[in-house]
């Protein structure tokens, strides 16, 4: 809390120090105008003082500077010639300062209201993220984990990308997925699937049974009352993995989702599914037999799970982000350090702004499994 208060004080202190700039400008223009020859009038330059104040000040500060500019314009008229104060030219300059100052004050009031609304939006989105998609624990059993979510919308912190982990008696189950569509509907769909995963992943069922349950849940949870079927209208691509404690092979069922990558000594290996299943929610159309793929994952390796917002991120020329190519040679074994470097590299590739949400999980295995 003290750090937050200190952070709030800094803009206030900076604004107070910058207030000297328009005040100094008003003083300088007033003195020069009074001392200048009668045919030279610098009064119109006073409007620059309230015009620059919204860059660092609020409505009260802008109103104060505008009032000082009007007073200065009046003093200039009295100092040069009292009769000039009553001239139409001088009165027009004062009226112009009043109109500009009033307009700027209204602008600052509306700007502050919008800033409060945006702050509330950010607060709500951050709260939703903590509830729906909290960061994964740094350690899960024998795994070291780091998670990263990059939202495409500046005001949103969560979208249709999802991930979750659950412990079983013999290992850790993870899911990473991407909901078809965007907006609040995608957030709702993601929340429903994550809830189903967190409930069912703890049960002593096979990975195929878990995926079949999730497939049914996608449609059951989203079906409106009175509807006979909604198959095909909503689907979610996902990879569901079972990572055993110890040195066992990772089991995976891929449901139309981009393949994981295992990074070993700087060499990436893409884990393509032999028989990928359809996305979750389309099982009733395809009646799939869920094939479980497996691959090695040793201590010292990094397992990367991600959504298509990563591989479909484009640079200014329209080139997709080449994930395997870019991470070749990266030797970071710490998941947090890896994701920090990855975030910088991805945002550099796209020029700082993503067109789609992107999520990534980096997982490392400790040498000695932990209970």
299-316 pLDDT, tens digit each: 889 999 999 989 999 998
pLDDT at residue 333 in the model = 86
pLDDT at residue 4 in the model = 43
pLDDT at residue 223 in the model = 53
Instruction: Report the Cα–Cα distance between both ends of the chain, in Å, rounded.
Output: 35
**Res. 120 pLDDT band, cuts 50 70 90:** confident
pLDDT at residue 241 in the model = 96
Instruction: Report, as an integer, the average pLDDT of 86-104.
Output: 85
Instruction: Report, as an integer, the average pLDDT of 120-140.
Output: 75
Instruction: Report, as an integer, the average pLDDT of 100-120.
Output: 90
In percent, how much of the chain has pLDDT > 70?
82
Q: What is the mean pLDDT of the chain?
A: 83
Between CA 309 and CA 349 the distance in angstroms is: 13
**Residue 234, pLDDT above cutoff 60:** yes
Between CA 230 and CA 233 the distance in angstroms is: 6
- Higher-confidence position of 88 and 31: 31
**Residue 7, pLDDT above cutoff 50:** no
Of the candidate ranges 102-106, 149-153, 273-277, the one whose mean pLDDT is the lowest? 149-153
Instruction: Report, as an integer, the average pLDDT of 200-222.
Output: 82
204 sits in the region (left: phi over 0; alpha: psi -120 to 50; else beta) called: beta
**Res. 125 pLDDT band, cuts 50 70 90:** low
- Higher-confidence position of 130 and 354: 354
pLDDT at residue 235 in the model = 85
Instruction: Report, as an integer, the average pLDDT of 31-51.
Output: 86
């Amino acid at each position: 809390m003290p750090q937050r208060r200190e952070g709030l004080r800094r803009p206030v202190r900076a604004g107070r120090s910058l207030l000297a700039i328009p005040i100094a400008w008003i003083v300088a223009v007033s003195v020069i105008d009074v001392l200048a020859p009668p045919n030279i009038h610098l009064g119109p330059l006073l409007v620059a003082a309230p015009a620059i104040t919204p860059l660092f000040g609020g409505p009260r500060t802008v109103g104060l500077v505008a009032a000082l500019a009007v007073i200065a314009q009046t003093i200039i008229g009295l100092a040069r010639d009292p009769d000039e104060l009553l001239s139409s030219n001088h009165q027009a300059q004062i009226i112009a300062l009043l109109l500009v100052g009033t307009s700027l004050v209204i602008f600052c009031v509306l700007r502050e209201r919008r800033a409060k609304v945006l702050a509330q939006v950010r607060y709500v989105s951050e709260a939703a993220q903590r509830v729906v998609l909290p960061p994964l624990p740094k350690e899960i059993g024998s795994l070291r984990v780091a998670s990263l979510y990059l939202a495409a919308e500046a005001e949103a912190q969560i979208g249709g990308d999802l991930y979750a982990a659950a412990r079983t008696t013999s290992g850790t189950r993870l899911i990473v997925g991407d909901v078809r569509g965007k907006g609040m509907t995608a957030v709702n769909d993601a929340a429903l699937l994550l809830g189903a995963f967190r409930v069912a992943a703890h049960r002593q069922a096979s990975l195929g049974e878990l995926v079949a349950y999730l497939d049914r849940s996608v449609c059951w949870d989203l079906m409106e009352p009175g509807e006979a079927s909604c198959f095909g209208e909503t689907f979610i691509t996902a990879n569901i993995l079972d990572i055993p404690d110890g040195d066992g092979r990772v089991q995976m069922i891929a449901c139309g989702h981009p393949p994981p990558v295992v990074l070993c000594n700087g060499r990436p290996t893409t884990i393509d599914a032999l028989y990928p299943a359809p996305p979750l929610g389309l099982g009733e159309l395809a009646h799939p037999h869920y094939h479980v793929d497996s691959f090695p994952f040793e201590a010292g390796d990094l397992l990367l799970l991600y959504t298509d917002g990563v591989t479909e991120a484009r640079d200014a020329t329209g080139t997709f982000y080449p994930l395997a190519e870019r991470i070749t040679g990266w030797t970071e074994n710490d998941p947090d350090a890896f994701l920090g470097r990855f975030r910088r590299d991805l945002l550099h590739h796209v020029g700082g702004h993503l067109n789609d949400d992107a999520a990534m999980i980096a997982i490392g295995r400790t040498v000695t499994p932990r209970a």
